[in-house]
A and B are shown apart, each in its own frame.
Chain A
Amino acid sequence: MSIEIKNITKRFGNFTALNNVNLKVNDGELIALLGPSGSGKTTLLRIIAGLEDFEPRDGTDILFKGKSVVGDPIGKRRIGFVFQHYALFRHQTVFENIAFGLRVRRGNERLSRTAIKKRVLELIHLIQLDTLENRYPDQLSGGQRQRVALARALAIEPKFLLLDEPFGALDARVRQNLRRWLRKLHDEIKLTSIFVTHDQEEALELADRIVVMNEGRIEQEGMPSEVFHKPKNEFVMDFLGNVNLFHEREDGSSVLGSENTSDLLKKYFVRPHEIDLVPPDNGGRGLPAVVKRVQLAGSLAKMELVDADGREIYVEFSHEKYNVYQFQVGNSVLAVPRKTVVFDDYAI
């Protein structure tokens, strides 16, 4: 089911959390709301769920499948909401937590005990927590709690799934596994889902589409490869991964990071993997620098350089490429940007 958000503005006192936000989520999509803390991503998620209100104005609306849900109570929206710190019911077992949404149903929507039991056990199986159904939340690990929270949200057969920093409180390994598991689950059940994250890697790996937010506005939305390779502005470029900043001077020499020189012409952004390093005697244009640190563990060779003014440059090579020169700490090199990004809106 599709979601459409029109002209939503939300203020907390003097702070503008959302500034005229428009967003459309297509049926079956998995969307990431990506941004730093305070960018309004969680507020937007809570507004969609109905947990937060917004400024009523002309043209402001929230549509589920083309139908306005403004004013509908939260329960009626039928949304599976997974809270940041899970918000499991602490005095209820895993089974009771997951059954909650089914047990509170009223009128002709009520299910029989056996039907509830069947559905809950199915979900427990889905989240791979069989045999743990009688545990209490504080007897579970972080990853297990997260999965219980997800099963609880799925139990009510929601029209969408909204996840607030779903992996925020987990350690790196569990996070990796759970991320893949969630992606697989989404591919199986095809439930329209929005998740909030401040982790660009998580967004790039998991989402069909990424919505980059900053200061209550949407900076860019698009496929992961699109926002990564064709960032619309400095903010998106900077937020999606490491970036080196160069300035070009009128005399044609590139200077890294310095902003207080008057003869600057352009500002270049270069990703660490888009810089070449050559020995200084090779000649050619480039920025002279010294290798300060080499880190060879992992899938990439990572290097930190310092230029003559003490500014740092980050470079990433494949191991094959690294093996050509095998630069060591203390070597002098020339850093040559291969692909640079310049933003039009940048003015000196």
Chain B
Amino acid sequence: MMNTKTRWTEYIVPGIIISAVLVFLAFFLVLPLAVIFAEAFSFNAWLEGESTLAEGWHAYWESFDDKYALPAIKLTLIAAAIAVPANAVFGIAAAWCIAKFNFWGKNVLITLIDLPLAISPVIAGLIFVLAFGQRSALGGWLIDHNIKIIFAVPGIVLATIFVTFPFVARELIPLMQEQGTLEEEAAVSLGASGWQTFWRITLPNIKWGLLYGLILCNARAMGEFGAVSVVSGHIRGETNTLPLYIETLYASYATVQSFTMATLLAMLGIITLIAKAAVEWKVKRERMK
């Protein structure tokens, strides 16, 4: 009797739960990821004997040989290269003043930082179209001065910054609050200026949290679809980012090409996960020390 009970709680129940999780993971994460690569390398055609592996491999690389592919990759990289540093600066500044100072409207600021997480990316895109588009007062002024924001690169960068807004700040606020201001006070009492205190004390103390936030921010910046889709205008070779280009290809039945591009984003995701795990491991080890 006793024996049955132990076996039940020790092996069977955990076994069922773990199997359920594994099946779930396989269906919703591993399988889709595998499909991306399978489609990109034309595995299906090979399995059905319609083509060879070498042909699939060849088709994969040929997909890059498209005059719109490289500009899309480039634009995605540009948007991320601007959005990530911008968010780093903003995130540190916001976390700094929220965590280390008390001021009127602090809670409003914290809520505003969360706004991009709360609203749909499509709405975020629309906000920019309404603000900078032809019909707005600002948009009219911009057209008069020949500055293009909507359906151009600046709009894509703005939308990307908007949706990735919370990542760094959200990561740093609790960290900085936990660390308090004592070390900064000590630094100032020893004669350090504000800048010196920031570079020598505050920044080193938050570096891992910052890196973690930047990794997540970067992944989102490169993968963003909704908001960018609204402001981009889908001009091939000009305002198509990688995710938008994948969608365009897929919609025009260029399956192999579309999945080939998708492997890039999938790889980015995998690299992000590895980097994130590495940072977490490093932080854990530093805590243990």
CA distance A74 to B191 in the complex (A): 7
> Which of these binds chain B: A83-91, A196-204, A226-234, A265-273?
A83-91
Complex contact A74–B188 (CB within 8 A) = yes
Q: Mark each residue of chain B from 165 to 189: 1 if its CB lies under 8 Å from any CB of chain A, else 0.
A: 0000000000000000011011111
Given known contacts A91-B205, A104-B200, A138-B289, A85 and B189 CB-to-CB distance under 8 angstroms: no
Instruction: Give the contacting residue for A75; candidates B189, B200, B205, B289; CB below 8 A.
Output: B189
Q: Looking at the assembled complex, report how far the CB atom of A321 sits from the nearest CB atom of chain B, in whole angstroms.
A: 49
Interface centre among A90, A153, A155 (most CB of B within 10 A): A90
CA distance A101 to B197 in the complex (A): 11
Q: Looking at the assembled complex, report how far the CB atom of B286 sits from the nearest CB atom of chain A, in whole angstroms.
A: 9
Counting CB contacts under 8 A, is A319 at the interface? no
Q: Looking at the assembled complex, report how far the CB atom of B233 sits from the nearest CB atom of chain A, in whole angstroms.
A: 47
Interface size on A, residues (CB 8 A): 28
User: Which A residue sits closest to B182, measured CB to CB?
Assistant: A87
Chain B residues within 8 Å of A64, by CB: none
Chain B interface size, as a band, is 10 to 19
Q: Mark each residue of chain A from 145 to 173: 1 if its CB lies under 8 Å from any CB of chain B, else 0.
A: 00000001101100000000000000000
User: Which A residue sits closest to B197, measured CB to CB?
Assistant: A104
Complex contact B189–A51 (CB within 8 A) = yes
CA distance A79 to B189 in the complex (A): 7
Counting CB contacts under 8 A, is B19 at the interface? no
Chain B residues within 8 Å of A249, by CB: none
Counting CB contacts under 8 A, is B196 at the interface? yes
Interface of B is mostly: helix
Given known contacts A89-B183, A91-B204, A91-B205, A104 and B189 CB-to-CB distance under 8 angstroms: no
Counting CB contacts under 8 A, is A292 at the interface? no
User: Which A residue sits closest to B188, measured CB to CB?
Assistant: A74
Counting CB contacts under 8 A, is B190 at the interface? yes
CA distance A136 to B186 in the complex (A): 17
Counting CB contacts under 8 A, is A105 at the interface? yes
Complex contact B192–A51 (CB within 8 A) = no
Complex contact A51–B185 (CB within 8 A) = yes
User: Which B residue sits closest to A97, measured CB to CB?
Assistant: B186
User: Which B residue sits closest to A85, measured CB to CB?
Assistant: B182
Given known contacts A104-B200, A138-B289, A89 and B187 CB-to-CB distance under 8 angstroms: yes
Q: Looking at the assembled complex, report how far the CB atom of A75 sits from the nearest CB atom of chain B, in whole angstroms.
A: 4
Q: Looking at the assembled complex, report how far the CB atom of A105 sits from the nearest CB atom of chain B, in whole angstroms.
A: 6
Q: Looking at the assembled complex, report how far the CB atom of A167 sits from the nearest CB atom of chain B, in whole angstroms.
A: 18
User: Which B residue sits closest to A139, measured CB to CB?
Assistant: B289
Complex contact A87–B185 (CB within 8 A) = yes
Chain A residues within 8 Å of B192, by CB: 75, 100-101, 104
Complex contact B188–A75 (CB within 8 A) = yes
Given known contacts A87-B185, A90-B183, A90-B205, A152 and B289 CB-to-CB distance under 8 angstroms: no
CA distance A76 to B187 in the complex (A): 13
Q: Looking at the assembled complex, report how far the CB atom of B57 sits from the nearest CB atom of chain A, in whole angstroms.
A: 48
Complex contact B185–A89 (CB within 8 A) = no
User: Which B residue sits closest to A155, measured CB to CB?
Assistant: B190
Interface centre among A75, A80, A81, A153 (most CB of B within 10 A): A75
User: Which A residue sits closest to B180, measured CB to CB?
Assistant: A87
Complex contact B185–A156 (CB within 8 A) = no
Chain B residues within 8 Å of A105, by CB: 191
User: Which A residue sits closest to B195, measured CB to CB?
Assistant: A104
Complex contact B185–A100 (CB within 8 A) = no
CA distance A219 to B257 in the complex (A): 84
Chain A residues within 8 Å of B188, by CB: 51, 74-75
CA distance A32 to B63 in the complex (A): 78
Q: Looking at the assembled complex, report how far the CB atom of B202 sits from the nearest CB atom of chain A, in whole angstroms.
A: 10
Counting CB contacts under 8 A, is A49 at the interface? yes
Chain B residues within 8 Å of A152, by CB: 186, 190
Instruction: Give the contacting residue for A83; candidates B185, B200, B289; CB below 8 A.
Output: B185
User: Which A residue sits closest to B189, measured CB to CB?
Assistant: A81
Counting CB contacts under 8 A, is B193 at the interface? yes
Chain B residues within 8 Å of A89, by CB: 183, 186-187, 200-201
CA distance A152 to B182 in the complex (A): 14
Interface centre among A80, A87, A90, A101 (most CB of B within 10 A): A87
- Beyond contacts A79-B189, A156-B191: 19 other A-B pairs, Cβ-Cβ < 8 A, are A51-B189, A74-B188, A74-B189, A75-B188, A75-B189, A75-B191, A83-B185, A87-B182, A89-B186, A91-B204, A101-B190, A104-B196, A104-B200, A136-B289, A138-B289, A139-B289, A152-B190, A155-B190, A156-B190
6 interchain residue pairs of minimum CB distance: A101-B190, A87-B182, A75-B191, A104-B192, A87-B186, A81-B189
6 residue pairs bridging A and B, Cβ less than 8 Å apart = A49-B189, A81-B189, A90-B205, A100-B187, A100-B190, A104-B200
